[in-house]
Chains A and B, each alone.
Chain A
Amino acid sequence: AQSVSQHNHHVILSEAASLELGCNYSYGGTVNLFWYVQYPGQHLQLLLKYFSGDPLVKGIKGFEAEFIKSKFSFNLRKPSVQWSDTAEYFCAVNAKGGNKLVFGAGTILRVKS
C-alpha cells in the first residue's frame, strides 16, 4: 500500500529564512507527486506537481520541489519565505493513471514577521 511521510508537523521560521519540507513516499510503481497548500480559512490549493520529465519542478509563489527517485523523496523548497506563506502544506502521491491521492499528515508552517 502507498504511504507518504512528512518529516515535520510544525515548522516556525522568520521571514526571509529558507524553507525545506521533507516528503518521502512508499510505492513500488510509477507515481505522480503533488504538494498542496491550505492557507488559513481557504481551501486546498495545488502548489506544484510532478508527472514526468525534469525532476525539479517549479510551482506558484516561488516554491519548487525536487523528485529524487532513488530516495523516494519529493521535498518542497523556497529560498526566502514570507509571512503570507503561513499555511498547512500537504504532500500527496498517486499511481500513474490511478485515482486516489494518498496524503501525508501535513506540515503547519508559521512564518514570523
Chain B
Amino acid sequence: EAGVTQFPSHSVIEKGQTVTLRCDPISGHDNLYWYRRVMGKEIKFLLHFVKESKQDESGMPNNRFLAERTGGTYSTLKVQPAELEDSGVYFCASSQDLISGGARETQYFGPGTRLLVL
C-alpha cells in the first residue's frame, strides 16, 4: 500500500510569490490533515478535511493560505502571497475515520514539503 505522498519535496520562492503544495493521501482515507513546522517550533495543526469538506480550519494562520480537496482525493495548499514567516516544513497526514477508534484513527504522515521564502 502506498503511503502519503507530497509534492514538491522542496520549494524555494521569493517573498510575494505563490506556491502550491500537493498531498496525496493513502487510498481510501477520508481524513486528510495539514500541519506545519516552523524552524525550532513544534508541529502545528493547520486544517482537516473529511472527504472534500473542511472539518476544522482553526489552525490556518491567515487568509493567504487556501486549502482545497476537490473530489475528496488529493489536496492542495496554496500560499499567496508568500511571506518570510511562512518558511517551514508542511506535512500532510491521512487517516481512515474517526468513529471506529483504534487503528483507523491513526494518522499517517507524508515526507513533508520544505518551503523556504526568501
Using CB atoms and an 8 Å cutoff, list the residues of chain A in contact with chain B: 4, 32, 34, 36, 42-46, 49, 51-52, 90, 92, 94, 96-106
Q: CA A34 – CA B101 in complex, angstroms? A: 14
Q: Which of B3, B55, B102, B108 contacts A99 (CB 8 A)?
A: B55
Knowing that A49-B106, A99-B31, A102-B45 touch, tell me 14 more A-B residue pairs with CB under 8 angstroms: A43-B110, A44-B109, A52-B101, A92-B43, A97-B101, A97-B105, A100-B48, A100-B58, A101-B43, A101-B45, A103-B35, A104-B42, A105-B42, A106-B43
B41, B110, B112: the one contacting A105 at CB < 8 Å is B41
Please give me the residue from chain B that is nearest to A98 by CB atom: B98
Would you give the shortest CB distance from A99 to chain B, in whole angstroms? 5
B-chain residues with CB within 8 Å of residue A4 when the two chains form the complex:
42
B91's partner among A44, A46, A97 (CB-CB below 8 A) is A44
Chain A contacts for B42, CB-based, 8 A: 4, 103-106
* A100 in contact with B105 (CB, 8 Å): no
Query: Binary interface profile of B, 105-118, with partner A (CB < 8 Å = 1, else 0)?
Result: 11111111000000
Closest to B47 in A: A100
B106 close to A99 (CB less than 8 A): no
Task: Indicate if B33 sits at the interface (CB-CB under 8 A).
Answer: yes
Partner of B105, one of A45, A51, A90: A51
A82 to B78 CA separation, bound complex (whole angstroms): 41
B44 and chain A: residue at smallest CB distance: A103
B56 close to chain A: CB less than 8 A: yes
Query: How close is A43's CB to chain B, nearest CB, in angstroms?
Result: 4
CB proximity of B65 to chain A, nearest CB, Å: 16
The closest CB in chain B to the CB of A100 belongs to: B45
Residue of A nearest to B49 (CB): A99
Question: Is the CB of B99 closer than 8 A to any CB of chain A?
Answer: yes
Q: List 8 A-B contacts (CB under 8 A).
A: A43-B110, A51-B102, A96-B101, A97-B99, A99-B55, A100-B33, A100-B45, A103-B44
